[in-house]
Amino acid sequence: QVQLQESGPGLVKSSETLSLTCTVSGASVSRYYWTWIRQPAGRGLEWLGRFYVNGATDSNPSLKSRLTMSVDTSKNYISLKLTSVSAADTAVYYCATYTGSHSDAFDIWGQGTLVTVSS
Amino acid sequence: QSMLTQPPSVSGAPGQRVTISCTGSSSNIGAGYNVHWYQKLPGTAPKLLIYDNNNRPSGVPDRFSGSKSGTSASLAITGLQAEDEADYYCHSYDGSLSGVLFGGGTKLTVL
């Protein structure tokens, strides 16, 4: 069974770079597309982007210039970097994937990690 | 316009039926892309409820059903239970954005 676990600093200063990792267990990171989604407090879900091991990437146009996603096949985790953060980037960040068992619906999610951007 | 619109809130008494709409456009639902639905409880990750418009993953009660027509989709919940109180989100792909869209979410209150 595929399981995902996000980890990160929890607190990031405004204008700095947010870095998160998502450890994958139960499957190789080479197998699926990996997606990052976030939810600001009191607001809805926002798709950030998806990444495949061959480098194929799709990103939310609103974040494209600030967002970098990558995969570490040796350690079996995926990572996200978001530059020049502001208070608007404060959110719970989720990594997720679709295994294909349920079409392209996200059927595997991490538990999420809260990132707060401080001034 | 690339967005999925849901009502902010719906409510119903135990045992009743409620529906949650998800209205899109010709670049997403109307273009034929499938709609998926998630249930989100506070402090937990979203849970897949319906995929490809009207399919339930194993373990999801048949009280939950989905439909799609034109540029809109709906989630129906029958026999409301207190445990159904949660936020519900629709999800589809948008060809203009070349990316995923989520609806704004609907808070279901069981009276």
Give yes or no for residue B1 having a pLDDT over 80: no
CB atoms A102 and B55 under 8 Å? yes
What b/e sequence results for A38-74 when a residue is b if at least 16 CB atoms lie within 10 Å of its CB, and e otherwise? bbeeeebbbbbbbbbbeeeebbbeebeebbebebeee
pLDDT in tens, B13-36: 999 999 999 999 999 999 999 999
pLDDT in tens, A78-91: 999 999 999 999 99
User: B-chain residues within 8 Å CB-CB of A112?
Assistant: 45
User: B-chain residues within 8 Å CB-CB of A46?
Assistant: 102
Q: Say what the pLDDT of residue A64 is.
A: 76
Contacts A–B by Cβ distance under 8 A: 66
Q: Say what the pLDDT of residue B22 is.
A: 98
Report helix, strand or coil for B78.
Answer: coil
User: CB of A49 within 8 A of CB of B99?
Assistant: yes
Is B44 touching A (CB cutoff 8 A)? yes
Q: Where does the pLDDT of residue A29 fall: very low under 50, low under 70, confident under 90, or very high at 90 and above?
A: very high
pLDDT in tens, B47-92: 999 999 999 999 999 999 999 999 999 999 999 999 999 999 999 9
User: CB of B82 within 8 A of CB of B15?
Assistant: no
CB atoms A102 and B89 under 8 Å? no
